[in-house]
Structure 1
Amino acid sequence: MQNDMGMLNSDGIPKKDFPNHWKGANGLYNVGFARRGLAGIAHDANIVASDIHTNIEMTYFN
């Protein structure tokens, strides 16, 4: 399946390498692609949640 945002390569893996693999364009995120097991997934999820929180604060509270 083609990814129109260009986030993933032909193998379905994020084009960006660790540690910047989690953030795509236009509010899209990649979680769990670091190949670091459940700890990596949890780490990615925390970073994504923090980024979403920051974006909401910047959008609505500034």
Structure 2
Amino acid sequence: MSLYSENKSNPYVFIERIGGGGFGEVYKGHELLSFEDKMVAIKVLNPKELDEESLSRFSREIRIHS
């Protein structure tokens, strides 16, 4: 599954689903535009769960993992 063909600003190939819950799903993926052979974790948020609080939690999660 690739989002690259659907959205040029999101150049990832999804390899397999590795987890998920009410907040969203996490996939093992490959970054196509990386100069390295870079594997990544891609979190796809559940749009039904997007409110101010969940976006704030997601922002904190990004800062923690980066």
Per the shorter chain, which TM-score range? 0.3 to 0.5
* Structure with the higher helix share, 1 or 2: 1
**What is the TM-score normalised by the length of structure 1?**
0.41
